[in-house]
Structure 1
Amino acid sequence: MARRRSTRWRSCCRNMPRKPVVGDDHRGQQYIDDILRGRIPSCLFVRQAVQRHVRDLERSKDPSFPYRFDEGKALKSIRFAQLLKHSKGIWAKRNENIRLEGWQQFIKWCLHGWIRKDNGCRRFRKSYIEVPRKNGKTTMAATEASDVFFLDGEAGAEIYCAATKRDQAKICWNEVRAQIMKQPSLRKRVDIYKTFSTIKQKGGDSIIRALGAESDTEDGLNPLLAIIDEYHAHKTADMVNVLESGMGAREEPLLYIITTAGSNRNGPCFQEERELAVRTLAGDGPDDFFCIIYTLDEGDEWDDPEVWIKANPNLGVSVKYEYLSSRVKQALASPRKQNDVKTKNFNVWCDSQTAWIGSEVWDACGGAVDPEALAGRNCFVGMDLANTDDLSSVVAVFPPVDLETDYQILARFYMPEDAIDEKSKKDKVPYALWRDQGYLTATPGNIIDQDFIEADLRSLADTYHVVATGYDPWNASQIVTHMKSEGMVMAAVRQGFATMSPMSKFFETLFTGKRLRHGKNPVLAWNAACVEVEQDSAGNIKPVKPDRRKTGRRIDGIVATIMALGLSMQDEGEEEDDGSLWVV
């Protein structure tokens, strides 16, 4: 027998002012028809989600199928959401009600319309919604929190807006708060405590609260609804596991995961929830798991405007064509940005590492460099040293002076003479030719002779004014000790994101803006073609070697260039007790 609902909580919906916007509350049904008939371009996963719903409507006629569709419940959820108001942007300025698009109505149609035949409780206890940025994820998730809080009528309801950090969780919670604040019939039913990021039912124990993964209060939770925002950023499934396990005492809980794609294919979002969603949409998953993924199909070109709507269901509404066009143009000009655009704007899961410098972009920076004309000029040096028989590099960067705009680069490379033939075959590049052309210095023996590199550093210091030399502290102790004793300023440049990101972004700005001049050094050009860029969740970047399983890829000259440019960015550094300059 279906359980009774609290009339007190249902009355709030009747007391809210109504506007004509609810007249289009069947747009979800139209969306279903448009997807099935191909009137709206859609990816495979969206078609599968719609087909699943239609197929289950037919299955529900079978007494043995445990679920049925209640159109009244679905409409109530849609109408309630459309009585809430926008809190940001032009629509908020106009004090407009939220208008759910067809795809958003379809999601609510399924989540709230499908119920169990035996007790009337909701069918779906977990949902996975994957959609790119700017498609109204937060707004839709916030309406879900208010819906469950005000309409479910369950005593002591606990609703959590959860994320990796409490500040991130507060983004969704603040949207819930703003929607409630703008609706007087809801506002008078709650107390809001901003300091504790908590909304509490007046005269009751129901709450809506922001929850970060760093919280020490996760155990003992009893969620009715848990909204997991941007799950792709979670390194572990700990929070989801805690929240899901805490739902055991609830009659009809809902774990609501909403996220964009990410770069961590080994994380719980991709490995567990997304993989389960893909299997479920293909017909091999649990019946109480709702899922839909907005992305591009395999073979789609991400820079083709005709397919953008597949990944962006709100294209033309909250996602503007001009915005996507701008993002795509930026990405086409900078390969490093391509994965970021694919992931955040087209919901394509990409590795965190990607090719960085396009050959056309690098070639455009191939202006001539005259070493003699640079004599006496200020320069900054970076060096990346090999451990044994690999490539080493020393790069001098000359900042522009007077009316100049370009940073000029002089690059020198080193390899043991006895290793050149073997390395040429292994790396599949003409080290011997580069040696003969003067771009590569062959040091005696089969292990790199750092005395030759020291001699070149002294030669640079004699010819140019070397302000400082940057080095990776991992393998440079001998040279550093010698150069310091001769009065040279040596700067240890740590290779983590914190240090390398601002330097790398400055380098990127210069080569994309055609403000580098490298003299067409072929070894440096090869390094540029090899280097990939890794980006962390905070948007920091650093250069990295390609997959270590791939041989013959070297990036020493680019790393040395970035270190030298990084030193040139600093007006002054912080000196350690031993007098060295440390970049941290």
Structure 2
Amino acid sequence: MIHQKYVDEYIQDYKSGKILLNKERIALIEFVEQKIYTREDIYFHDEMIEQCVQYIEKWYFPLLPFQKFIISFVFLFFSANNRNVFKKFLIMMGRGGGKNGLISGVSNFLQTPFHNINDYNISIVANSEEQAKTSFDEIYLTIERNPQLKQFFKNTKTQIVGKQTNAIIQYRTSNGNTKDGLRDGAVVFDEIHQYESNKDVKVHISGLGKRPNPREFYIGTDGYVREGFIDSLKEKASKVLNGKTRFNALFPFICKLDDEQEVNDPKNWEKANPMFSLPMCAYAENLFDEVLEQFEDLQDDPSNREEFMTKRMNLPVSDTERSVATYEELLATKREVGDVEGFQCIGGLDFASIRDFAAVGLLFKQEEEYFWLTHSFVRKEFVDNFYGYSRPRESVNGKRQFAPIKEWEEKGFLTVLDEPSINPQHIVDWFLEKAYHHSIKKIVADNFRMDILRPLFENAGLEVLVLKNPRAIDSLLAPRIESAFANHRVRFGDNQMMRWYTNNVLRKLKKDGNVEYLKKEEVRRKTDGFKAFEYAMYLGDELDSGNIDDYLDIANSFF
């Protein structure tokens, strides 16, 4: 058995009830006790850990137990070759938790002779120069304010160089112009919630491995980009903690609320922000007062709730008064649709605008679960203007895109049409092709452009139910649709675009108590795929009843 005093102290703080931890950190402690402490082939470099702690506390700020806990694993090594055990570190917590301050101190220490690696260059990467300079400027100002440190570092506005080790710290923005960077020993990725993929990350870590003990630090608070880079890191963290991947694939220190209801008791906030563990330092007390004031403001202006929960509590949620499904419910739709060859289904079609998007889909039902296969047709001019479809990928630079149309096109979720308006024949042809593989009982659509579409469908031998007043079905179907999402009975498979459509829907509760489905933003936040799904759901519960024709007669008379 191995041990480390700062790790032991943190574990004891939890077990004694001194601090309150979220599920991920509880799992991390169990992981340390079962997968780290029990190994005989690794060791904590106690001397280097102590030197790092003392360096930061002397030149930067007093460290809290959770920060010393993290530092300990930065200097965990294999006994056989003295290589670091963890190469990747994920540090996530609510805004104000001290992520940047900790990484500033650790990065500066790695430049020193205490670390004992020459030319251990460090890049601090973020999507904007302002954010990339956060830790850089903290290091720069610390050196400028201390004449003793200035003897050991060459300090400029663009580089901080350790005179004895020639280790360079510099900041970088996420763009294609900085591909050929330093031969880094470590890379810090800040504000990781803004990355849609690992494309830009791979560029910046390509130089690692040319120096001993390379490290990658991923720090940030959660954000609004789903199924992007940050979600892949969280998934890897879960696999590490659950023993489903290599034990040292990632060191995850994730602080967040376990449930959104916990926000109502400020005692729970330390789950998301470890600065709030008692006794709080002066900085933490001021921060707590600021967060408390923001929380109280939500009573009068609940519109900021999603921002507060995401940024302060590190728990992305969707307000059910504004969204059809929560974040967790949307994630549950990722389950595979499976083989539905030859199955009976209902078609859904939203063709509200022939100049931007049109969506089609097939709804299947097995027992109590709904399976939705969908496709979209989009006009090139529209997606060029509003989503940058034709821009070179290098110009995106890893930043958040409003909708990654090019990626969705490559995955087959949509077809980009270079034509003045969407030709309705594309819609009919899609359903005809699917009719070879599935039994399409009926296609449900709104009445827009049906004077053009109906003859095309009839000539193709496809039956269409036209909803003359499609908004009338929102309140009718809301309980069925929202219950299906809440009980994880909806499957979209790997179709990210369908989750994007659904997340763009504004659930409005009218004064008469009825629900209306609108758009959260009129132009760019498209909802066509969801509306097609909703139309199909109108007949969804009849798929396994065997009396669909009788129901269609009733439906036609109603509309």
Q: What is aligned with 1:284?
A: 244
Select the structure of larger CA radius of gyration. Answer: 1
- State the number of aligned residues: 362
Q: What is aligned with 2:293?
A: 326
Report the 3-state secondary structure (helix = DSSP H, G, I; strand = E; otherwise coil) of the residue aligned with 1:186.
helix
Q: What is aligned with 1:144?
A: 106
Q: What is aligned with 1:516?
A: none
Is 1:132–2:94 an aligned residue pair? yes
Q: Contact 2:44 / 2:72 at 8 angstroms: preserved in 1?
A: no
Q: 1:544 to 1:71 in 2, by over 3 A?
A: same
Q: Contact 1:159 / 1:209 at 8 angstroms: preserved in 2?
A: yes
Q: What is aligned with 1:309?
A: 270
Q: Distance in 2 between matches of 1:202 and 1:166?
A: 25
Question: Could you report, residue by residue, the CA deviation over 1:39-91 in whole angstroms, capped at 9, with x for unpaired residues?
Answer: 31111111121222223454224xxxx31223323222211211113xxxxxx
Q: Contact 1:129 / 1:291 at 8 angstroms: preserved in 2?
A: yes
Q: Contact 2:117 / 2:165 at 8 angstroms: preserved in 1?
A: no
Question: Could you report, residue by residue, the CA deviation over 1:229-288 in whole angstroms, capped at 9, with x for unpaired residues?
Answer: 111112231232123231122220110111111111121111x21210111122223333
Q: What is aligned with 2:44?
A: 69
Q: Distance in 2 between matches of 1:148 and 1:217?
A: 23
Q: What is aligned with 1:248?
A: 209
Q: What is aligned with 2:166?
A: 205
Q: Contact 1:427 / 1:551 at 8 angstroms: preserved in 2?
A: no
Q: Distance in 2 between matches of 1:337 and 1:543?
A: 21
Report the 3-state secondary structure (helix = DSSP H, G, I; strand = E; otherwise coil) of the residue aligned with 1:175.
helix
Q: What is aligned with 2:474?
A: 427
Q: 1:203 to 1:43 in 2, by over 3 A?
A: closer
Is 1:160–2:207 an aligned residue pair? no
Q: 1:214 to 1:167 in 2, by over 3 A?
A: farther
Q: What is aligned with 2:140?
A: 177
Q: Contact 2:20 / 2:271 at 8 angstroms: preserved in 1?
A: yes
Unpaired segments ≥5 residues, structure 2: 324-351, 355-447, 452-465, 478-508, 536-559
Q: Contact 1:533 / 1:543 at 8 angstroms: preserved in 2?
A: no
Q: 1:166 to 1:41 in 2, by over 3 A?
A: same
Q: 1:328 to 1:306 in 2, by over 3 A?
A: same
Question: Could you report, residue by residue, the CA deviation over 1:95-143 in whole angstroms, capped at 9, with x for unpaired residues?
Answer: xxx111111111112222x111012232211101111111111111101
When the two structures are superposed, what TM-score results if normalisation uses the length of structure 2?
A: 0.57
Q: Contact 1:36 / 1:47 at 8 angstroms: preserved in 2?
A: no
Q: 1:182 to 1:49 in 2, by over 3 A?
A: farther
Q: What is aligned with 2:308?
A: 341
Q: Contact 2:35 / 2:247 at 8 angstroms: preserved in 1?
A: no
Is 1:49–2:16 an aligned residue pair? no
Q: Distance in 1 between matches of 2:288 and 2:67?
A: 20
Is 1:261–2:261 an aligned residue pair? no
Report the 3-state secondary structure (helix = DSSP H, G, I; strand = E; otherwise coil) of the residue aligned with 1:216.
helix
Q: 1:526 to 1:33 in 2, by over 3 A?
A: same
Counterparts of 1:539-554 in structure 2, within 5 Å, are 548-549=529-530
Counterparts of 1:78-477 in structure 2, within 5 Å, are 78-85=53-60, 98-112=61-75, 114-150=76-112, 151-194=114-157, 197-202=158-163, 205-214=166-175, 216-270=177-231, 272-288=232-248, 289-298=250-259, 300-315=261-276, 316-317=280-281, 318-319=283-284, 320-350=287-317, 355-356=321-322, 422-423=469-470, 426-428=473-475
Report the 3-state secondary structure (helix = DSSP H, G, I; strand = E; otherwise coil) of the residue aligned with 1:258.
strand
Give RMSD over aligned pairs: 3.7
The offset of 1:191, in angstroms, is: 1.6
Q: 1:551 to 1:140 in 2, by over 3 A?
A: same
Q: 1:208 to 1:165 in 2, by over 3 A?
A: same
The offset of 1:421, in angstroms, is: 6.0
Letter of the 1:39 counterpart: K
Q: Contact 1:161 / 1:210 at 8 angstroms: preserved in 2?
A: yes
Q: Contact 1:232 / 1:264 at 8 angstroms: preserved in 2?
A: yes
Letter of the 1:36 counterpart: K
Q: Distance in 1 between matches of 2:165 and 2:288?
A: 46
Q: 1:247 to 1:547 in 2, by over 3 A?
A: same
Unpaired segments ≥5 residues, structure 1: 1-24, 86-97, 358-385, 389-414, 431-519, 535-540, 555-584
Q: What is aligned with 1:470?
A: none
Q: What is aligned with 2:551?
A: none
Letter of the 1:101 counterpart: L
Q: What is aligned with 1:34?
A: 13
The offset of 1:331, in angstroms, is: 3.0
Report the 3-state secondary structure (helix = DSSP H, G, I; strand = E; otherwise coil) of the residue aligned with 2:188.
strand
Q: 1:335 to 1:545 in 2, by over 3 A?
A: farther
Q: Contact 1:300 / 1:307 at 8 angstroms: preserved in 2?
A: no
Q: 1:549 to 1:80 in 2, by over 3 A?
A: same
Report the 3-state secondary structure (helix = DSSP H, G, I; strand = E; otherwise coil) of the residue aligned with 1:29.
helix
Report the 3-state secondary structure (helix = DSSP H, G, I; strand = E; otherwise coil) of the residue aligned with 2:171.
strand
Q: Distance in 1 between matches of 2:321 and 2:303?
A: 6
The offset of 1:330, in angstroms, is: 2.6
Q: Distance in 2 between matches of 1:211 and 1:43?
A: 33
Q: Distance in 2 between matches of 1:257 and 1:521?
A: 43
The offset of 1:312, in angstroms, is: 1.1
Q: 1:180 to 1:26 in 2, by over 3 A?
A: farther
Q: Contact 2:474 / 2:517 at 8 angstroms: preserved in 1?
A: no
The offset of 1:548, in angstroms, is: 4.2
Q: 1:533 to 1:125 in 2, by over 3 A?
A: same
Letter of the 1:313 counterpart: P
Q: Distance in 1 between matches of 2:320 and 2:181?
A: 42
Letter of the 1:78 counterpart: V
Letter of the 2:234 counterpart: R
Q: Contact 1:161 / 1:209 at 8 angstroms: preserved in 2?
A: yes
The offset of 1:305, in angstroms, is: 1.6
Report the 3-state secondary structure (helix = DSSP H, G, I; strand = E; otherwise coil) of the residue aligned with 2:166.
coil
Letter of the 1:549 counterpart: F
Letter of the 2:257 counterpart: L
